[in-house]
Amino acid sequence: MIRLVIFLMALYFMGEQTMALTLTSPAFSQNSPIPSKYTCDGANISIPLQWDGAPEGTMTFVVICEDPDVPHSLRPDGMYDHWVLFNIAASVPNLPENMRSLPQGAVQGMNTSNKLGYTGPCPPDRQHRYFFKIFALDTTLDLPQGATKAEVIAACQGHILDQAELMGVYNRPQNKG
């Protein structure tokens, strides 16, 4: 009898667990090379991303892609922001390859190239890491188009329900010496 009660309690609590937010891409897997078509050496089109497991209460998502491996001689902070996208509705489960139009309500932020939208990997010196991050928020951000990553991250504070990350690598053919 005690075993049955323990078993039933385990089933109950397993049902109560929520799935954590995950971020994947059909183009590459975690810690793997990013195909050149998504880079400055290819078509420089946006990478397809998909996510699952958003927590209850999610209103919007933020997607950021950043490269923390930039030589400090080029950027003192060593960071290059490739994509800043926010206010993606909770009902949106993915971003398609070569995204030509934004999901309804979504807003593009400014990348380090001072452009809206995606700018693909283009490391100047060696293999770099590219971190695609997604944040599930309990709010919609009151920011204008062209907001910087720093502004978006500041506005997210206190509203992040969960987050996930996907990291890929890229090294330009000219760097492979």
**Mean pLDDT value across the chain:** 91
Q: What is the pTM of this model?
A: 0.88
* Average pLDDT estimate for 11-31: 77
Q: Assign a CATH topology to domain 19-175.
A: Phosphatidylethanolamine-binding Protein (3.90.280)
- What confidence score (pLDDT) does residue 176 get? 72
CA 50 – CA 12 distance, rounded (Å):
29
Cα atoms in the 13 Å half-sphere on the side-chain side of 61: 30
CA 152 – CA 93 distance, rounded (Å):
20
* Average pLDDT estimate for 117-141: 97
Residues 139-148 have pLDDT tens digits of: 999 999 999 9
- What confidence score (pLDDT) does residue 90 get? 97
Say if CB 95 and CB 117 are below 8 A apart: no
Domain coordinates in residue numbering, the chain? 19-175
